Structures are given as structure tokens and as C-alpha cells.
Amino acid sequence: MKRTFYMAAICLAVTYAACTSNDSSKSTAENDTSVKVTKEDKVKRGEYLVSVIGCGDCHTPKIMTPQGPAPDMERFLSGYNAEIPLGAYDTAIANSGRWVLMAGDLTAAAGPWGVSFASNLTPDGTGLGNWSYDAFRRAMREGKYKGIENSRPLLPPMPWFNFKNMTDDDLESIYEYLKTIKPVKNLVPQAIINMPPQQS
């Protein structure tokens, strides 16, 4: 009788283990298919992120319309338009640290650091065309100019210190999306960097 009881208990345990194993492997298989993300999915996610975090606010030149300034979609995310001179501004106000001056289309900014110009984010060779994903991630995570390890820091108003908290998936999605937009040839000028005052 005891032997029959033990055999029944062992059979139940083996059956339970087999069922549990099948369920968990089925569950894992279902989960695996649900997390497969295609390149198209990444591009769509990147488009959404670029829109909601406002990349175009600074990186897209503006045109004047009857409703006021609007993004110039022919130059979408191409940065400061190198064909248009910056124009005069009061350097004393900018250097004072009490004000930051912005170009009318928001693609250039002057402050105590000097003058910064919004980068060309299109996949043209004058923009991100030659950037690797690692360089893009380094620029966004570490605030390095052109994503080069020992380069200067990115200048204001680029808020990389906020974007560094994005997930790897988000950064990769943005990168993949930027590779799909219209390339615009536009070699943005180098920043004009003010040297910090000498300590006495």
C-alpha cells in the first residue's frame, strides 16, 4: 500500500513538473515573439521621440508664414543655415551671463560660453551621415562634441544632460530614424568659444 502511495505521488510530481515546464517554455516563447522589434518599429519610435522632445525646435530653421514662424520642412533638422550670416548682436549683454540671446529661428545661441550653432542632424555627410551609433550615443550620454571621446563638451542650449537618461532603445530608435530623413547639405559653422576669465 505504501509503495502504491509513493508511486502515485512520484507520478503526480513528474506530471506537475512536466506541465509546469511546458507552460513556462510556452510563456517564454510567447514573450519572445511579443518583444521582437523590427527596424521599422524603431524608426517609428524614433520619429515619435524626435517630435515630442522637440529636436526640431532648435535644429530646424524657420520660415515666416502668415501665422508666424514655422519649421522649414525643406531643411528639416539641418541645423543653423550656414548660408545666412549670424548678424550683429550685443556681445556685452551675451557675455554678462545675465541673458542668453537666440537667433530669430532658434538655431543659434549666444551667451557667456560664446556662440553655439544647432548641428545638422540629417544623414548628409555634413551632418550625421558619417556618425556611428556609438558616436551618437556618446554625444547624447556624455555630451561630447560629434561623439568624439576626447572632444569638447556640447554647448548650451543642447540639453544632453536630460537626454542622457533615455534608454538604449530610445537612443537607438532616434538614431535609426535620423538615418531615414532627407539629407540636407549644410556645413554648420564651428562654435565661437569664449575663453573663461583668468583667475588671479
Asked if the structure places residue 198 within a domain, the reply is no
pLDDT digits (tens, 9 = 90+) for 146-188: 999 999 999 999 999 999 999 999 999 999 999 999 999 999 9
Asked if the structure places residue 32 within a domain, the reply is no
pTM of the entire predicted model: 0.79
Q: What is the pLDDT of residue 4?
A: 53
Distance CA 73, CA 80 (A): 14
Residue 33 has pLDDT above 80, yes or no: no
Residue 121 — very low, low, confident or very high, per pLDDT cuts 50/70/90? very high
Asked if the structure places residue 96 within a domain, the reply is yes
Asked if the structure places residue 6 within a domain, the reply is no
Asked if the structure places residue 161 within a domain, the reply is yes
Contact 123, 132 (CB under 8 A): no
Question: Into how many domains does the chain fold?
Answer: 1
Its domain, for residue 50, covers 39-193
Asked if the structure places residue 149 within a domain, the reply is yes
Asked if the structure places residue 12 within a domain, the reply is no
DSSP conformation class of 127 = T
Q: For cell 501665422, what's the residue?
A: 67
φ/ψ of residue 111, rounded to 5: -160, -170
Asked if the structure places residue 4 within a domain, the reply is no
